[in-house]
């Protein structure tokens, strides 16, 4: 089993290229990020080449962060901005050899929002396909992101089926799914053909995976037995110095290597 460091939360006290190098030194097999756009892609690609790591994924821009926005692609009337954000993400992913892009839906509800989201996802899949890039959508829990358009795996799967694009997959974040639906290992088994990436963190505090209500020893064992070989994304909040939270890498993670 392999593990990816999500640099949206880990080593955020360092420039992104240095965070990539820190992840390599800590023993991670890959990295992923949220919004790398303030860093020139050449600097990121250089750090990836130096370390031999792959950047697994990145997110489309959130929109007006100061106004509380958290994605654009399900917002009626914002299609031009949403597609510009998709184009930007594809350009950055292409420059850094990143194979996955999470298209963020944003805060919206209703049939109009779903129609816009589906349309923008079709655009994203068509634009990403020539570059070999997979588009991901991720349900977020209603406690951390109240009002977010996409909240359950069932809702996500219905949209994936409707869009009917081979390069549209589900981002299965164990933290969000546990808070909204539970029954993690049965859901992973059932949804595996539609899953493009798996992330994890403890529940309820979104910390390192060696505490909390989820038994990741069991979850990782099930994922391994299912034959899933892509790196799992450590998207947890360290609550301080990242290096001080990495005991799970020599304990929990080491048991599943």
Neighbours of 115 (CB within 10 A): 12
Q: Give me the catalytic one of 79, 138, 181, 213.
A: 138
**138 carries an active-site annotation:** yes
Show the tokens assigned to 133: 């890039």
Specify whether the CB–CB gap between 1 and 52 falls below 8 A: no
What DSSP assignment string belongs to 208-243?
-TTSSS--HHHHHHHHHHTT--SPEEE----SS-GG
**235 carries an active-site annotation:** yes
What DSSP assignment string belongs to 106-167?
-B--SHHHHHHHHHHHHHHHHHHGGGTPEEEE----TTTSTTBS---HHHHHHHHHHH--TT
Segment (H or E) for 198? strand 195-200
Q: Give me the catalytic one of 69, 79, 115, 235.
A: 235
Q: What is the rounded distance in angstroms from the CA atom of residue 189 to the CA atom of residue 207?
A: 24
Residue of 26, 88, 37 whose CA lies nearest to 234: 26
Q: What is the rounded distance in angstroms from the CA atom of residue 31 to the CA atom of residue 12?
A: 13
Q: What is the rounded distance in angstroms from the CA atom of residue 117 to the CA atom of residue 216?
A: 33
Which residues form the catalytic set? 138, 235
């Amino acid at each position: 089993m392999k593990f990816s460091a999500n640099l949206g939360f880990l080593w955020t006290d360092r420039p992104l290229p240095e965070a990539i190098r820190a992840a390599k030194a800590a023993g991670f097999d890959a990295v992923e990020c949220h919004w790398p756009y303030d860093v020139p892609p050449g600097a990121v690609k250089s750090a990836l080449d130096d370390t031999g790591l792959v950047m697994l994924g990145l997110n489309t821009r959130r929109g007006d962060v100061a106004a509380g926005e958290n994605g654009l692609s399900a917002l009626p009337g914002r299609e031009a901005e949403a597609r510009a954000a998709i184009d930007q993400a594809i350009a950055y992913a292409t420059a850094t050899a990143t194979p996955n892009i999470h298209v963020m839906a944003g805060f919206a509800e209703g049939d109009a929002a779903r129609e816009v989201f589906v349309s923008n996802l079709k655009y994203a899949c068509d634009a990403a396909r020539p570059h070999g890039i997979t588009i991901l959508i991720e349900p977020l829990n209603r406690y951390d992101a109240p009002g977010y358009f996409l909240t359950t795996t069932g809702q996500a799967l219905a949209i994936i089926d409707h869009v009917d694009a081979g390069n549209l997959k589900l981002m299965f974040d164990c933290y969000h799914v546990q808070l909204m639906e539970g029954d993690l290992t049965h859901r992973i088994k059932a949804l595996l053909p539609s899953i493009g990436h798996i992330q994890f963190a403890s529940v309820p505090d979104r910390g390192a995976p060696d505490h909390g209500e989820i038994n990741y020893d069991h979850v990782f064992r099930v994922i391994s037995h299912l034959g899933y070989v892509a790196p799992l994304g450590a998207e947890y909040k360290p609550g301080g110095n990242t290096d001080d939270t990495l005991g799970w890498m020599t304990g929990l993670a080491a048991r599943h290597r």
